[in-house]
């Protein structure tokens, strides 16, 4: 039960404006019309997560994650932005166990990622991740890069795996490159293969770690368009990016990080038009 009454009004653009201690949560649930929100049962729960690195040339540890607490609802698209070294990628990698944490808990769809008893390989089939540098097998064709993980991890037979691979190559717009090796593909085409490979595992969550930063400007738009399509289909997505246009257009929520901590979070319009923290204001002045 919510404590006390909550007042909901509409602003001049017919956006919900709420008052009270749960106002921001209710505003988040109304961000994208037609998309269901389940505030009481989020897909991802991050509680008091800390990670520090001890460097030889520094007496004090570097706090990559400093008591991070947050949650992501099912079907929500969250974009994480911030300066280099702010902890964005560390947080993203910790969500599927690629990066261990020192303390705190991470839960995805009821599975505790930070519990050593959790089958992390099984979890990763449900949490797809797309990296900056594609990470394709260079000696395998585009089709094989998508089909092989299905056969090894999900135990699908060759016919089923290749049918799914063909369907996904068609979805990402490069079916005619199915038999090409990565060296024969552009950066944008390789990233499309990487996205298709993740989707082949039928993930519940997709993580994007600077998915466009290694691409030339002409191919960035195509990848961002594909990511927008996934968002529109209801995929739960967490995106680390420097593409502010994507953050404003596709995100339900923007998280701004600095020095390993969440400094500010808000809806895209509120964050970009009226940032509350001095640090976020400074960051936006430098990049916009």
Edge-to-edge strands of the sheet including 253-258?
127-130, 205-209, 236-240, 77-81, 253-258, 261-266
Distances (CA, A) of 121 to 14, 29, 149, 197, 228: 45, 32, 12, 16, 28
pLDDT (0 to 100) of residue 39: 45
pLDDT above 50 (res 44)? yes
pLDDT above 70 (res 143)? yes
Fold of 73-101+112-287: Rossmann fold (3.40.50)
What is the three-state SS of 55-101?
A: CCCCCCCEEEEEEEEEEECCCCEEEEECCCCCCHHHHHHHHCCCCCC
Residue with the bigger pLDDT between 3 and 149: it is 149
**Band (51; pLDDT cuts 50, 70, 90):** very high
Distance from C-alpha of 198 to C-alpha of 171, rounded to nearest angstrom: 13
pLDDT (0 to 100) of residue 195: 95
pLDDT (0 to 100) of residue 288: 80
Q: How do the domains of the chain map onto residue ranges? A: 1-30, 73-101+112-287
**Band (36; pLDDT cuts 50, 70, 90):** very low
pLDDT digits (tens, 9 = 90+) for 19-30: 333 343 444 434
**CA neighbours within 13 Å on the CB side: how many for 132?**
10
pLDDT digits (tens, 9 = 90+) for 101-130: 999 999 999 999 999 999 998 898 899 999
pLDDT above 50 (res 16)? no
pLDDT digits (tens, 9 = 90+) for 70-100: 999 999 999 999 999 999 999 999 999 999 9
pLDDT above 90 (res 57)? no
What is the separation of C-alpha 188 from the centre of its chain, rounded to a whole number of angstroms? 19
Mean pLDDT of 31-43: 56
State the first-to-last Cα distance of the chain, in angstroms, to the nearest integer. 41
Distance from C-alpha of 278 to C-alpha of 103, rounded to nearest angstrom: 29
Parallel, antiparallel, or unpaired for β 111-112 and 103-108?
A: antiparallel
pLDDT above 80 (res 144)? yes
**Band (10; pLDDT cuts 50, 70, 90):** very low
167 Cβ contact list (under 8 Å, min separation 6):
none
* pTM of the entire predicted model: 0.83
pLDDT (0 to 100) of residue 60: 83
pLDDT above 90 (res 12)? no
**How many CB atoms are located within 10 Å of the residue 108 CB?**
23
pLDDT above 90 (res 13)? no
């Amino acid at each position: 039960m919510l404590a006390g009454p909550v007042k909901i009004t509409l602003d001049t653009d017919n956006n919900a404006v709420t008052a009270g201690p749960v106002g921001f949560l209710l505003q988040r649930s109304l961000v994208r019309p037609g998309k269901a929100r389940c505030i009481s049962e989020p897909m991802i729960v991050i509680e008091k997560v800390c990670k520090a690195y001890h460097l030889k040339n520094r007496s004090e540890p570097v706090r990559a994650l400093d008591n991070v607490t947050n949650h992501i609802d099912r079907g929500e698209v969250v974009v994480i932005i911030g300066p280099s070294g702010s902890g964005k990628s560390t947080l993203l990698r910790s969500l599927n166990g690629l990066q261990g944490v020192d303390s705190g808990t991470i839960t995805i769809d009821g599975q505790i990622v930070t519990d050593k008893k959790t089958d992390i390989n099984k979890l990763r089939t449900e949490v797809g991740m797309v990296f900056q540098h594609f990470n394709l097998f260079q000696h395998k064709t585009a089709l094989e890069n998508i089909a092989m993980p299905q056969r090894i991890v999900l135990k699908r037979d060759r016919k089923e795996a290749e049918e799914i691979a063909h369907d996904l190559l068609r979805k990402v717009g490069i079916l005619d490159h199915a038999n090409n090796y990565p060296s024969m593909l552009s950066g944008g085409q390789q990233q499309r293969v990487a996205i298709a490979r993740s989707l082949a595992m039928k993930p519940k969550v997709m993580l994007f770690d600077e998915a466009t930063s290694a691409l030339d400007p002409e191919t960035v738009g195509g990848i961002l368009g594909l990511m927008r399509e996934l968002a529109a289909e209801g995929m739960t997505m967490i995106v680390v990016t420097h593409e502010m246009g994507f953050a404003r257009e596709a995100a339900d929520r923007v998280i701004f990080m600095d020095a390993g901590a969440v400094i500010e979070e808000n809806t895209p319009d509120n964050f970009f038009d009226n940032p509350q923290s001095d640090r976020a204001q400074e960051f936006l002045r430098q990049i916009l």
